[in-house]
Amino acid sequence: MRGGALALSGVRSPRQLVLQTIAASPGVAAGAAALMAVQQVAEFTVPVLLGVAIDRGIATGDLRGTVFWACLLVADFLVLVVAQQFGSRLGLRAVESVQHKLRRALVERLLSPTGLNQPRSVGELLAITGSDVTRLSHAVLIVVYPVAEVTALAYAAIALGLIWWPLGCAVLLGGLALVLAMEFIGRPFLRRTAVEQEAIAGVSAVAADTLAGVDTLRGFGARAWAVGIHSTANERALVATKRARAAEQRFVGVSRALSAVFVVGVAVTAAFLALAGTISVGQLVIVVGLVQLVIGPLEAIAINLAAVWLAALASATRVLALSAEQPARPEPRATGAELCTSEFEPEGEPPALALRWSTDERSDSSRAMLSFEVQAGEVVGVVTDSARAHELVAGLRRCGVEDAGKVMLGGSDASRLDSDALSAHLLVAPKHTAGAALPAPGQSERRAAHSVRTPHSGGELQRAALAHAYSSSAPVLVLHEPTSALDPVTEQSIAAKLRAAVAGRAVLVVTTAPALLAVTDRVHHLWGGAARSGRHHELLENSDYRQALR
């Protein structure tokens, strides 16, 4: 499936997003609609050919004519089968193509260096990029099946009108009244289906969040609490599903009763017309057959069209909310890379990474600043408290204009780089990143990170994230607690292979793990309003440094 991401930046309403989604794959959708229309017409032609065969072959004793109409009936069945096969395939291809474009657009938004202003849980993101995108992409089918069904209804009305025009008008008007009645009756079913979808998406979100934090939950002894939350979500989804299925059964029962009354009424009318000699026996067969076939498209238009539209509209609301989320920082106003004139501007060859960061939380201009550099091929550690570590990593990820002069990449002010240039120079791997959007790691990177091909636990996900980070081509790599969910033996093994895995790159490791700090070239310890720098074994003589390690 090729094609770029769906443009979501100019979308202002869920309705506009649904319409844009429907029009996202026009060629494939139009081909699918044409083939499905042929299939519907071929299906409605079956009773027509049977009726003509009765009148012109069987009733007159014309064996040659009977064989001829039978051969036409076989050919019609072949057309029906082929059109249905290829039409459904094209319809599925259109849906999958639009799904790909929607997911690509959301992934690009999620991975944008500007970030999201409002944090969202992993489960919520999975629900939006998964089930919501799937339901929204099914809106493409609105131009496939309803178009075919309307074509079939028009064909039936014309055929019945040629037999006896009042009958054709009656079927057309009666069918319209039946559609309106079923649409009104089906509203409770549609509402409860929407509630059911929300509840099921909630279960997926809770499950994903529980799995993402399973190690933390175990550590706090919160297993029973997590099971209770998941059970509550499941019970809510079960109640919503039961109510939706009950509403569906009521709708199906009433709609079938109305359909039966409609079919019987037309059939009885046609029978009286046949007895009166107004229509022939073959025409009676055509009328009864077409009226029975008409029920399917009528029900589909009445309920499926509305159901797909409303489900897509609800999902479009959530997708649009995510894509239109305010960024955590604006895009850099300047696109050119300019040298920083800050006080730590180096002489000679600029370092791969130069950093100026405050060592305390004072907001005035007199606060102390830590300045250090990381050359290509060096591994430098930073030890600080959790809050400051998160602040430091977040600042590196979002080098906005307000951070001018704080981060230098190869001599260029990171705040003046555009998103693509920033991503090409710097990779920040937070400890909770699964790394799925990064380049696929090779065998050597997997071995260095002790990664498995299909991670499940928190530790396996963290090792997979580290392997992805190793595979990145960015010259500057920032690792935030890359082994926090691993056992000491695995952590020690990863530390021993770290330098070889990142050879030639500038690496900043923000961690309190002694095993990782032991392989660094130097460590910067930030605490209170002061900073201390040195080799790990030298800093171990300081009690504050020892207490900061885990």
pTM above 0.75, yes or no: no
Q: If you classify domain 353-548 with CATH, what class do you get?
A: alpha beta
**Coil vs helix vs strand at 247:** helix
For residue 497, report the phi and psi dihedrals to the nearest 5 degrees: -100, 0
Give residue 369's pLDDT: 65
Distances (CA, A) of 359 to 244, 290, 364, 392, 531: 58, 81, 12, 10, 7
Give residue 503's pLDDT: 86
pLDDT at 507 over 80: yes
Judge contact between 76 and 42, C-beta under 8 A: yes
| Residues ≥6 apart with Cβ < 8 Å to 172 | 153, 157
Q: Which of 97-106, 175-184, 264-273, 323-332 is the most confident on average?
A: 97-106
Give residue 40's pLDDT: 93
Provide the pLDDT confidence category of residue 168 given band limits of 50, 70 and 90: confident
Give residue 216's pLDDT: 59
Least confident segment among 25-29, 220-224, 394-398: 220-224
Per-residue pLDDT, averaged over 358-362, amounts to: 54
- Superfamily per CATH, domain 14-323: ABC transporter type 1, transmembrane domain (1.20.1560.10)
pLDDT at 493 over 50: yes
Give residue 342's pLDDT: 38
Distance CA 426, CA 423 (A): 5
Give residue 9's pLDDT: 76
Sign of the torsion formed by the C-alpha atoms of 317, 322, 328 and 329: negative
Compare 233 and 341 and report the one with higher pLDDT.
Answer: 233
Q: For 126-146, how does the pLDDT look when each residue is reduced to its tens digit (9 = 90+)?
A: 888 888 889 889 999 888 988
pLDDT at 405 over 60: no
Distance CA 449, CA 465 (A): 9
Distance CA 316, CA 299 (A): 25
Provide the pLDDT confidence category of residue 114 given band limits of 50, 70 and 90: low
* Number of neighbours of residue 216 by Cβ within 10 angstroms: 12
Compare 304 and 73 and report the one with higher pLDDT.
Answer: 73
Provide the pLDDT confidence category of residue 368 given band limits of 50, 70 and 90: low
Domain extents in the chain: 14-323, 353-548
Q: For 215-267, how does the pLDDT look when each residue is reduced to its tens digit (9 = 90+)?
A: 556 656 677 888 888 889 899 989 988 998 888 888 878 877 887 888 788 88
Share the mean pLDDT of the chain: 79
